[in-house]
Amino acid sequence: MPNPFNPYQPAEGRLFANRKQEQLWFQGDFIPSVVPDNFGTYNAAILGPWGIGKSSLVRQLKYLIADSITEPVAMTFFSCTTGFGSLTGFCSAIVNALRQEALRLSRWDQSLEQEMSQWSWEIHLPGVTASRTRGTDAQSSVSAAEFLRSSLLRLWERAFRAHGYAVVIALDDVNLLQAIDPQALMLLRAVFQDLHMYQARYALVVTGPPDLFSEIRDIAEPVIRFFEHLTLSAFTEADVADAVREPIAAVGVPLTVEDDAIRWLWERTQGHPYFVTYVMHYVFQAAIDAAWSTVRRDHFQQLWPAILARLGRGKFRDDWDSATPAEQNVLRAIAQNRLDQINRGLVTRLVRKGLVTKIDRGQYALYHPMFSEYVQRHDGH
Ligand SMILES: Nc1ncnc2c1ncn2[C@@H]1O[C@H](COP(=O)(O)OP(=O)(O)O)[C@@H](O)[C@H]1O
Ligand SMILES: [Mg+2]
């Protein structure tokens, strides 16, 4: 029996639940914006903390596009990583992927293939060698952007427009590009705005943490306005019910989960999608193994200690270990509600690591009450 609750991969297709408002925006605004004769494409930034469902939503877009459009739309998906090494490396990767996509869509059109093979796909930077690619120097950033702009324009004119395709480019975890080069978002915005001027129908969707734009706010107001912001928050109780019942229905198992059990799960997980899926992964398995036909609150309660122990080994210990000893002291202080004693600089670093959430001015909490419970119970050991 396949387990439809997989906390290790983004949920998409039949396993995707909720996010109705965001899906409506994609269906009603974003997708129509990429068809010809519209007044330019829209761009979106999906924002939210770790595990809230950003990658899932951006992957779901592929299904929305397939469902709702008569117009052909190509979509390329990039998980950003600092492994690109430089903005130059990243731009080459994007152009390469789009080149493959263009050839695929044109069914390996031979004349196009030949033409493309004659284009220069290398970025020629005076004075920049392969061993010096990790550059945040202005020249390499600008050259990378110029390369991206001219390549996308060329691909548009020669391949995508010719075959009637609009192109959606999704950059998951775009903050990792910002980590390589703080100019990354500014340059992307400049490039995509220029493409719009040439009526090249490229739309950009990025994902990132809630503070993606706050660090560049002073210089990047136009970047902020360039994107529709879709900020994801935790599931409501009704959302949790859907996230639990829809995947079970999708695999066709006659298993009922009582409302009371859903409420208990919602309270414990605070509707955090990752934890909902993680818990359900084990509860579903237990239900199949023991041939239950109904899952009740007491089933959850009975399985809870084992699930928490697993989460401790698999997730919370890594979280704890990713903090320095001084930061661990702060985590402990926040878990025990001794907020007056904490060091602001360290808290800021913990917020950036996603381990601490700012609730209000001077008010902080660990990113999830289950992590807080772990820190208090184990004192991090
Ligand atoms: N809309 C959704 N429907 C069902 N499960 C979801 C949904 N969003 C997130 N999840 C679950 O939560 C987990 C984390 O989601 P993910 O999209 O990877 O978050 P993020 O990219 O924000 O870190 C996924 O593995 C999936 O199991
Ligand atoms: Mg993700």
User: Are 263 and 132 in the same domain?
Assistant: no
Number of the ligand closest to the Cα of 47: 1
Query: How far does residue 250's CA lie from ligand 1's centre (Å)?
Result: 17
Q: Write b or e for each residue in 165-185: b if 16 or more Cβ atoms lie within 10 A of its Cβ, otherwise e.
A: bbbbbbbbbbbbbbebbebbb
User: Are 61 and 210 in the same domain?
Assistant: yes
- DSSP letter at 30? I
Q: What CATH number is given to the structural domain containing 295?
A: 1.10.8
Q: What's the total number of domains in the chain?
A: 3
Q: 109-120 pLDDT, tens per residue? A: 788 888 777 776
* pLDDT (average), residues 284-308: 96
Q: What is the pLDDT confidence band of residue 128, given thresholds at 50, 70 and 90? A: very low
* pLDDT (average), residues 126-154: 67
> Is residue 19 within 6 Å of ligand 1 at its C-beta?
yes
22: enclosing H helix or E strand: helix 20-25
Q: What CATH number is given to the structural domain containing 183?
A: 3.40.50.300
The mean predicted confidence, pLDDT, of the chain is 89
**Could you tell me how many helices (H) and strands (E) the chain has, helices first?**
17, 9
| pLDDT in the model for residue 168 | 96
Angle between helices 273-289 and 237-250 (to 10 degrees): 40
Domain hosting residue 130, numbered range: 19-231
User: Are 135 and 254 in the same domain?
Assistant: no
Whether residue 8 lies inside any domain: the answer is no
Q: 181-210 pLDDT, tens per residue? A: 988 999 999 999 999 999 999 999 999 999
How much of the chain is helix, strand and coil, in % rounded to 5?
Answer: 55, 10, 30
CA distance 50 to 210: 9
Answer yes or no: is pLDDT of 295 > 90.
Answer: yes
Q: What is the pLDDT confidence band of residue 130, given thresholds at 50, 70 and 90? A: very low
| pLDDT in the model for residue 129 | 42
User: Are 247 and 285 in the same domain?
Assistant: yes
- Of 2, 1, 9, the closest CA to residue 273 belongs to 9
Whether residue 13 lies inside any domain: the answer is no
User: Are 127 and 198 in the same domain?
Assistant: yes
> Is residue 63 within 6 Å of ligand 1 at its C-beta?
no
What is the value of pTM for the model shown? 0.91
User: Are 74 and 175 in the same domain?
Assistant: yes
- DSSP letter at 215? G
Answer yes or no: is pLDDT of 343 > 60.
Answer: yes
Residue nearest to atom 5 of ligand 1 (CA): 11
| pLDDT in the model for residue 43 | 96
Q: 206-236 pLDDT, tens per residue? A: 999 998 988 776 667 788 889 999 999 999 9
Whether residue 1 lies inside any domain: the answer is no
* pLDDT (average), residues 40-51: 94
| pLDDT in the model for residue 302 | 96
| pLDDT in the model for residue 138 | 59
| pLDDT in the model for residue 134 | 46
- Of 72, 76, 36, the closest CA to residue 58 belongs to 76
> Is residue 277 within 6 Å of ligand 1 at its C-beta?
yes
| pLDDT in the model for residue 340 | 82
Q: 354-370 pLDDT, tens per residue? A: 999 988 888 899 999 99
Answer yes or no: is pLDDT of 379 > 70.
Answer: no
Whether residue 12 lies inside any domain: the answer is no
CA distance 133 to 212: 25
| pLDDT in the model for residue 220 | 72
Percent of the chain surpassing pLDDT 90: 66
> Is residue 3 within 6 Å of ligand 1 at its C-beta?
no
